[in-house]
């Protein structure tokens, strides 16, 4: 039996707009088989919503917090929830 899917909401703070961060996040999420989106917020953060297996979402969160991202990540605030309605693909918004 597989574990139920989860939804990760991550708010990424730092210099993460205008540096290819959403494209990079989309690429990592697709490699992990996740669906969702990465969206610029008016306050300079990027909001990442990822849905899929908990282990894959956890790995994406680790990548978001790593030194390998474009730009500069100061902190990532994460919130976990049960998976919501299905999301098609992974979009940049």
User: Do the domain assignments include residue 27?
Assistant: yes
19 burial via Cβ count (<10 Å: 0-12, 13-18, 19+): middle
User: Do the domain assignments include residue 21?
Assistant: yes
Are 3 and 54 in contact by the 8 Å Cβ rule? The answer is: yes
User: Which residue positions in the chain have pLDDT lower than 70?
Assistant: 1-3
Catalytic, out of 7, 22, 28, 45:
22
User: Do the domain assignments include residue 65?
Assistant: no
Q: What is the CATH number of the domain that holds 11?
A: 3.30.70.100
Catalytic, out of 7, 9, 28, 40:
40
The 10s digit of each residue's pLDDT in 44-66 is: 999 999 999 999 999 999 999 99
Its domain, for residue 86, covers 5-52+72-92
Q: What is the pLDDT of residue 40?
A: 98
Q: Is 54 a catalytic residue?
A: no
Q: What is the pLDDT of residue 4?
A: 81
Q: Is 22 a catalytic residue?
A: yes
């Amino acid at each position: 039996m597989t574990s139920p899917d989860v939804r990760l909401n991550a708010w990424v703070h730092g210099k993460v707009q205008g540096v290819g961060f959403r494209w990079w996040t989309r690429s990592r999420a697709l490699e992990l088989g996740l669906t969702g989106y990465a969206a610029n917020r008016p306050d300079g953060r990027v909001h990442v919503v990822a849905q899929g297996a908990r282990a894959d979402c956890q790995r994406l969160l680790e990548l978001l917090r790593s030194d390998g991202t474009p730009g500069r990540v100061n902190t990532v605030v994460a919130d976990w929830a049960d998976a919501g309605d299905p999301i098609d693909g992974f979009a940049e918004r």
